[in-house]
Amino acid sequence: MKKSIKLIAFCFVLQFFTFTVSAQDKAQKIEQLLSKYNEYGQFNGSALVAENGKVIFKKGFGSANMEWNIPNQPDTKFRLGSITKQFTALLIVKLAEEGKIKLDAPVTTYLPDYPKENGDKITIHHLLTHTSGIPNYTNAPNFLKEKARNPYTPADFVKTFSSLPLDFKPGEKFNYSNSGYFLLGYIIEKITGKTYEQYLQETIFTPLKMVNSGFDHSDVILKNRAAGYEKNGKKIVNAAYLDMSIPYAAGSLYSTVEDLYLWDQALYTKKLLSEKSMESLFKPYIKAWGDESYGYGWSVEDINNGDKGKLKIIEHGGGINGFNTIISRIPADKNLVVLLNNTGGTVLGEMNAAIRSILYNQPFDQPKRSLALEIFDVFSEKGTAAGLESYKKLKNDPTYGIKEGEINQIGYQLLQNGKKKEAIEVFKINVETFPKSGNVYDSLGEAYLADGDKKLAIANYSKSVELDPSNQSGKKVLDELLKNKAK
């Protein structure tokens, strides 16, 4: 009997040692991966990775404050952007569980002053799943110049979009809309009699001891807050000011990778919601982007994982002035990846996929230098001919990668700087490289329109809508162009 007990104990120790070595090996690979992204100027932030519910890696990369050379750490606070939506969704489902709101009830049930023509047709479920048809306020022309810097009360800001015509019949299709989640925050306030911030704090952050998370306010002195930056080519600049009353329940929270781990772990329990209510957050209610569906504040996707078959991925990204974020969960194995970046848009999806491959012992693509960052300065300072020559030299260099998002980003930077011809050539690079992406044609169409070439603008917007029928903003521009052409 003693021998059996000893044998069992030995096997347990051996198994634990094997797991530890494996976790250490994976952690080392993750560190090497993110260090290379940091070296290439594509990751400046904090990361946390958990496997089987246990943290195997957490570390900061680059600077939280570049003026003072203060490094990012696991306890550095970052603005989350649209990761905020999953917290708002849980608060709504919590109210539904308590019988204080019905998800199939129209908006006017809780906001009697909301315009009835639209409010009687839009349900809470529509808001949660981006199927309301309410135009996304961040897509409004001159949004950044005219509204983003000004403080608003929730009631006043709702009035800026509540009377606009709907993009489509509620429930008909998916179209990502910050307006819907802003409205959910306002509804929470009306039902609870508390501010969104207060109800969020007492319902989620305090019970979970998420002491480094909250609703961000620019005027508050917040210990360990990361400054937000943007890339202008290779140059780093301070991010533009954004009044945090604007993102509100759609994007105004801050947190740390460590606190988001606490959040992830709580989603496996009944601390916040019943099991049935929790499951409702992660149902694939409607097709969203590509193979992804949308739940309540989360995207849901089944991906192929080699010999292991299908893996259900539950995740969401965020982007807000100076910050880019992602939280990705694999419930079957209790695996988690959290990446928080404070130098604007970057390739977090690519990093997340590589880390997932490391966790499952699968091959992954190594980081590459950004071709976009290399050619931006050339296009910007030396013009179209020099920019195209630089592109031709670098596109066949295996150490450089052509990434759709980055090319698009520098194209818009050139457009904003008044360099329309240069922007057109950059967007054409994206069309040449990613001919099946509706987004690249939309951007090229916008550049042609800015340059006064309506014929080519129509051609590219038409191609964009053909490839991506969900492109509501592109359809609007195209319809307007065709109407004017017919006159």
Report pLDDT for 143: 85
Q: For the chain, give the percent of residues with pLDDT over 90.
A: 84
Q: Give per-residue pLDDT as tens, 92-146.
A: 999 999 999 999 999 999 999 999 999 999 999 999 999 999 999 998 878 877 7
Under the banding of pLDDT at 50, 70 and 90, the label for residue 232 is confident
Q: For the chain, give the percent of residues with pLDDT over 70.
A: 95
**How many Å separate Cα 23 from the centre of its chain?**
28
Full strand arrangement of the beta sheet holding 214-215: 78-79, 253-255, 214-215
Domain spans in the chain, listed from the N-terminal domain onward:
81-359, 369-486
| Whether residue 82 has pLDDT greater than 70 | yes
E strand or H helix that includes residue 57: strand 54-60
Q: Copy the structure tokens of residue 117.
A: 């023509």
Report pLDDT for 304: 85
Average pLDDT of the chain to the nearest whole number: 93
Q: Among 42-51, 282-291, 346-355, 478-487, name the one with the lowest average pLDDT.
A: 478-487
Report pLDDT for 19: 53
Report pLDDT for 421: 95
Task: Annotate 370-380 with b (16+ C-beta within 10 A) or e (fewer).
Answer: bbbbbbbbbbb
d(Cα 160, Cα 166) in Å, to the nearest integer? 13
Report pLDDT for 2: 45
CATH of 81-359, one of 3.40.710.10, 3.40.1280.10, 1.10.630.10, 3.30.70.260: 3.40.710.10
CATH of 369-486, one of 3.40.50.720, 1.20.1630.10, 1.25.40.10, 3.40.50.1360: 1.25.40.10
Q: Give per-residue pLDDT as tens, 407-425.
A: 998 999 999 899 999 999 9
For the chain, the residue count is 487
Sign, Cα dihedral of 62, 266, 337, 252: negative
DSSP H helical segments within 40-142, as ranges?
84-97, 116-119, 124-128
Asked whether the domain spanning 369-486 has the same topology as the one spanning 81-359, the reply is no
Report pLDDT for 14: 47
Q: Give per-residue pLDDT as tens, 376-399.
A: 999 999 999 999 999 999 999 999
User: For the whole model, what pTM was predicted?
Assistant: 0.90
| Whether residue 4 has pLDDT greater than 90 | no
Q: Give per-residue pLDDT as tens, 38-77.
A: 999 999 999 999 999 999 999 999 999 999 999 999 999 9
Mean pLDDT value of segment 239-254: 96
**How many Å separate Cα 66 from the centre of its chain?**
24
Q: Give per-residue pLDDT as tens, 158-180.
A: 999 999 999 999 999 999 999 99
